Amino acid sequence: MGSTVPPIVANLYMKEVEKTALNIFHGTSPSQWFRYVGDTWDKIKIHEVQAVTKYINSVDNNIKFTLEDVENNRLDFLDCAILIKKKNGQLDIKVYRKLTHTDQCLWFDSHHPLELNLGVIRTLHHHVENVHVNITAKDKELKYLKEALKAYGYLEWAFIKTATKNSKDISTTDRGKEQSRQKNVVIPYVAGISEKLRRIFNKHQILVFFKPTNTLRKKLVYPKDPTPKHKQSNIVNAIQSNENCTDVYISETKQLLHKQMAQQRRANSSGQDLAVYLYLKDKGRSFDDNNMHILHREDSCGVLFVPDAGVLGDPESPGELHLHEVLPAAPP
């Protein structure tokens, strides 16, 4: 769900750390050293375990390795449970699940494209096919996954469809290359409507991809803190004086709001004074920043407001805000 850069940087950093550690260590180096980002599989002589652990932790103070030893001829590495057979020393690999694993997955009747639901089945099956070396254990794991997925509404025809699709993948390589050269379009996914649009686009040899319109990230995650009012620009703001007055002044500014408000409080030494300054001076009034409200942002809007033209209280309707919309002129 995040950037792909951190794993690459971590891998490069760990490669340098292990290169330094293994080349300088004076004892018996590990006969096996397999690493995936920050997890390593090592084969070390028993009497060298503590020495190797202590030394490798001294190479870089920012990196600390923890030790997990074999228990009952079993060692969990990444998402694999690896059993070491006593008779011949061969490895028996199975899928590893934590004790807190709940088999939770995407509901089949949720508001997602069918391809996404079928992708859940294919992904889990692909994992089993590439982890297990024992045919009996593989069949047992596939049966377990099928029962777990059925609990979330996955139907029998979905398993048949994914199995048929997988058998055709080998013969569709050339067709996939041809499709990659075609035009494509991405549209929001709305159940029942997006599928119809895709069929229409397909008639014109245009590939269609769906994207979600309502995600948890949009609802819960805000990458940036909200910008304070006084640091915003390109806005239309309204402000009311402090002296229990119903008059409201509306202005537009392209600069930072706190700079505009500072200019409105003082006389202009190099030109004409602002209208709000003259109004406050004439009425003997003042305004507070806390009484300022942002009415509109003009980043991507065609509505224009007359800069600093001030709409003050109307005797017939005191306190009413008059926003005058000015449409862009038609091109000549």
* pLDDT tens per residue across span 240-251: 776 667 777 777
CA distances in angstroms from 153 to 105, 156, 250, listed in the order given: 10, 10, 57
The mean pLDDT of 31-47, rounded to a whole number, is 82
**Are 141 and 97 in contact, with CB atoms under 8 Å apart?**
no
The mean pLDDT of 25-46, rounded to a whole number, is 81
Q: Which among 90-94, 216-220, 221-225 has the top mean pLDDT?
A: 90-94
CA nearest neighbour of 301 among 273, 327, 330, 271: 327
pLDDT at position 226 over 70:
yes
CA nearest neighbour of 18 among 3, 6, 5, 36: 36
pLDDT at position 298 over 80:
no
Report d(CA 120, CA 127) in Å as an integer: 11
Kindly report the backbone phi and psi dihedral angles of residue 124, in degrees, each rounded to the nearest multiple of 5, phi listed first.
-65, -40
**Are 97 and 140 in contact, with CB atoms under 8 Å apart?**
no
Residue 90, pLDDT score:
78
Element (H, E) at 140: helix 135-150
**Which residue do the tokens 């000549």 mark?**
332
Domain ranges of the chain: 1-67, 170-211, 227-327
No. of helices (H) and no. of strands (E), the chain: 10, 10
CA nearest neighbour of 209 among 169, 182, 178, 175: 182
Report d(CA 45, CA 195) in Å as an integer: 60
**Are 93 and 80 in contact, with CB atoms under 8 Å apart?**
yes
Q: What is the pLDDT of residues 251-268, one digit of tens each?
A: 788 888 888 888 878 887
State whether the Cα torsion 316-318-320-324 is positive or negative: positive
What percent of the chain has a predicted confidence (pLDDT) above 90? Answer: 7
Which one has a higher pLDDT value, 311 or 255?
Answer: 255
Residue 120, pLDDT score:
92
Residue 177, pLDDT score:
52
Q: List CB contacts of 92: < 8 A, sequence separation 6 or more.
A: 82, 83, 84, 85, 133, 134, 137
Structure tokens of 17? Answer: 């750390």
Residue 58, pLDDT score:
85
Mean pLDDT lowest for which of 139-143, 180-184, 269-273? 180-184
DSSP secondary structure code for residue 314 in this structure: -
Question: pTM value?
Answer: 0.53
Element (H, E) at 179: helix 173-180
The mean pLDDT of 98-122, rounded to a whole number, is 89
Residue 151, pLDDT score:
92
Mean pLDDT, the chain, rounded, equals 76
pLDDT at position 327 over 70:
no
Q: What is the pLDDT of residues 152-211, one digit of tens each?
A: 999 999 888 888 765 555 445 555 555 555 688 888 888 888 999 999 988 888 888 888
Beta-ladder partners of 293 = 238
Residue 324, pLDDT score:
35
